[in-house]
Structure 1
Amino acid sequence: MSHHGKTKAQKGSLPAMTVTPVAAAIGVVLRDDQVLLVRRANQPDAGKWGFPGGKIEPGEPVQAAAAREVAEETGLVVRPLHVFTAVDAFHRNASGQLVTHYVLIAVLCEWISGLPQAAGDALEAEWFPIETLDSVDIVMSVDVARVASMAAKVRDDVQ
Structure 2
Amino acid sequence: MTETFETIRYTADVVVTTTDGHVLLIERGWDPFAGRWALPGGHVDPGETSRAAAARELAEEAGVYAAPEELDQIGTFDRPDRDPRGRYVTVAYHLTVLPGTTVEAGDDATRAQWWPLSGLPPLAFDHADIIAALADTATGE
Displacement, 1:110?
2.6
Secondary structure of 1:72's counterpart equals helix
Secondary structure of 1:145's counterpart equals helix
- Rounded to whole Å, the distance in 2 between the matches of 1:131 and 1:74 is 21
Displacement, 1:48?
1.2
Question: What code does the residue aligned with 2:71 have?
Answer: P
- Rounded to whole Å, the distance in 2 between the matches of 1:43 and 1:123 is 12
Q: 2:73 aligns with which of 82, 86, 93?
A: 82
Q: Once superposed, what is the RMSD of the aligned Cα atoms?
A: 2.2
1:93-108 correspondence to structure 2 within 5 Å: 99-108=85-94
TM-score (norm 1): 0.70
1:5-20 correspondence to structure 2 within 5 Å: 20=7
Secondary structure of 1:63's counterpart equals helix
1:21 to 2:4 alignment: no
Secondary structure of 2:71's counterpart equals strand
Q: 1:153 aligns with which of 129, 136, 140?
A: 136
- Rounded to whole Å, the distance in 1 between the matches of 2:52 and 2:138 is 19
Aligned residues: 129
Displacement, 1:87?
4.4
Question: What code does the residue aligned with 1:90 have?
Answer: D
Q: 2:53 aligns with which of 57, 61, 65?
A: 65
Secondary structure of 2:83's counterpart equals strand
Larger Rg: 1
Q: Look up the match of 1:124.
A: 111
Distance 1:111 1:64, change over 3 A: farther
Post-superposition Cα deviations, 1:37-92, rounded to whole Å, max 9, x if no partner, equal 1011122322111101110011111111111101000101233112423144231x
TM-score (norm 2): 0.78
The percent of aligned pairs where both chains have the same amino acid is 33
Q: 2:26, 2:111 within 8 Å by CA — same for their partners in 1?
A: yes
Q: Which stretches in structure 1 are left out of the alignment for 5+ residues?
A: 1-17, 92-98
Q: 1:29, 1:108 within 8 Å by CA — same for their partners in 2?
A: yes
Q: 1:40, 1:121 within 8 Å by CA — same for their partners in 2?
A: yes
Distance 1:60 1:20, change over 3 A: same
